Copies of this chain bind each other. A is one copy, B any other.
């Protein structure tokens, strides 16, 4: 069904069968020079995938009007929609507006209302207004501004024949806001797709990919034929393995019901390897368990140098259960402040003493201790990657040794998540061997 054409009116592509392709063009010489990594295109690609919109090419091009225009024309030739990101600022370098107009074969006009809005924005921030800023009030004939304008640069929606070009700023939070409030909903409407695609990520730690694959093999097979949910593995390095559940359904409520069911299925199969979903992290899981169980936590760190405390305190509300930590980097600080017996400090005994010491010193119910060799040099005759983790609670303590791979930074990251996972397992009553990774 074709609706009548109007500026900014929504026209479904390809007869409303949902077969929409959208290309992403990132503009900026600094991207080509490698001064900035193009995280914007990756983020946009992920959103398009979630919306069920196919993205076959992503192109980066410098601040050159002719090359941007040529790139946009090619993209419009092979896709129904194009998102161009960056080059919308007020300086002479910023030529995306001109390139969009050139690709659309129209001229630019200045919008008086937007000019006034930009001028008032400067006044409100007490900044001097320069006439050159009015370049941002220009838009191609037939285009309109994206209503939401979280920064100082307006975005554009520019229809080109039956296709569409969206121009958004390169500043990540401005780009994201415009995509979420305008571009993605518009693309979904244009695609005519009535289905809702939702996904949920189930996060695990402590199992290998091959073991997860084995535990889920028959489930993946059963789902493959059913046309409902799909499961996909995603590695996230030191932070563990993720299983993404994706569902296409008639409504958000229907999709969520399938996601809930599938998450329960996964949790049943994977047990306490699962530490959270979506935005949950290992540290938020640990803090949540402490809160639930009425426990308080303190950490004593040597090789990780504050990284465990830093991650825990990055979670808003951590102060309710996290008492604090002691970074005992020098050996004598371990002896004097944490009561570690004088002697080797890269040992299970030292890790246990650190955990118990910090628990008492900071009046916490749970104490965690981390000592080891981050590298690059060995210490006390032990190679880089040797790590000891101690856990102390009222009247009980345990410790274990792990050998962690990678460089100094990786060993530290890996040590922290290993230690936090131990707290998680013990607070949730699991007797799983925490040394397994």
- Residues of A near any B CB (own CB < 8 A): 31-39, 41-47, 49, 55-62, 64, 67, 71, 234, 299, 301, 304-310, 312-314, 316, 318-319, 322-330, 332-333, 337, 361-363, 374-377, 408-409, 412
Contact = CB atoms under 8 A, between A and B. Distances in A.
A32 B55 contact: yes
A314 B412 contact: yes
Given A42-B36, A305-B314, A330 B326 contact: no
Contacts of A337: 361-362
B318 A305 contact: yes
A57 B46 contact: no
Given A316-B376, A326-B324, A409-B314, A37 B34 contact: no
B330 A324 contact: yes
B333 A329 contact: no
A31 B45 contact: yes
Task: Give the dominant DSSP class at A's interface.
Answer: mixed
A374 to B, nearest CB: 8
Contacts of A333: 323-324, 362
Given A31-B42, A59-B58, A306 B325 contact: yes
A307 to B, nearest CB: 5
Given A31-B42, A306-B307, A316-B375, 20 more contacts: A32-B57, A34-B44, A34-B46, A37-B37, A56-B61, A57-B67, A58-B60, A305-B306, A305-B309, A305-B314, A306-B313, A309-B309, A309-B310, A313-B374, A314-B412, A319-B329, A322-B329, A322-B330, A325-B326, A332-B363
Q: State the number of copies, please.
A: 2
Contacts of A361: 337
A42 B49 contact: no
A81 to B, nearest CB: 15
Contacts of A316: 375-377, 408
Contacts of A34: 41-47, 49
Given A36-B42, A313-B306, A57 B59 contact: yes
A38 B31 contact: no
B49 A57 contact: no
Contacts of A306: 301, 305-310, 313, 325, 327
Contacts of A47: 34
Contacts of A234: 35
A325 B305 CA distance: 8
Contact of A37 (B42, B67, B332, B375): B42
A57 B31 CA distance: 10
Contacts of A43: 34
A38 B41 contact: yes
A337 B323 CA distance: 12
A33 B59 contact: no
A310 B313 contact: no
A26 to B, nearest CB: 9
Contacts of A327: 299, 306, 309, 313, 324-327
